[in-house]
Amino acid sequence: MSKQKDGGSVFPTIDSDMNTAGERYFFPSGGMSLRDYFAGQALMGLIADPSVILNDYIIPAHAKTVYKIADAMIAEREKQNEA
């Protein structure tokens, strides 16, 4: 099974460490994935519509839908970056 493409980190924090020469260096660390960010944005758009039904039965379907949207956005982003 292949690893899900998540688009990398969004809003990473800056962390630091020391190299063997005792010099401090900084690097991005953590942050939510771009996939989660896209899914959250899609979810906000979805539930902003007052006609969208939210109940214990339909919420899992909405969760699946927003991640499908996020995956499509990442795939399109990769195509655009290759061009």
Within a domain: 17: no
Within a domain: 18: no
pLDDT given at position 2: 59
Residue 32 near residue 13, CB atoms below 8 Å: no
Within a domain: 56: yes
**Tally of domains in the chain:** 1
Within a domain: 21: no
Q: How many residues does this entry show for the chain?
A: 83
Within a domain: 7: no
pTM: 0.73
Distance CA 40, CA 70 (A): 9
Within a domain: 78: yes
Q: What is the mean pLDDT of residues 13-26?
A: 87
Residue 9 near residue 34, CB atoms below 8 Å: yes
Within a domain: 14: no
Q: Does 3 have pLDDT greater than 80?
A: no
Give me the domain span that covers residue 75.
Answer: 32-83
Model pLDDT for residues 53-71, shown as the tens digit of each residue: 889 999 999 999 999 999 9
Within a domain: 2: no
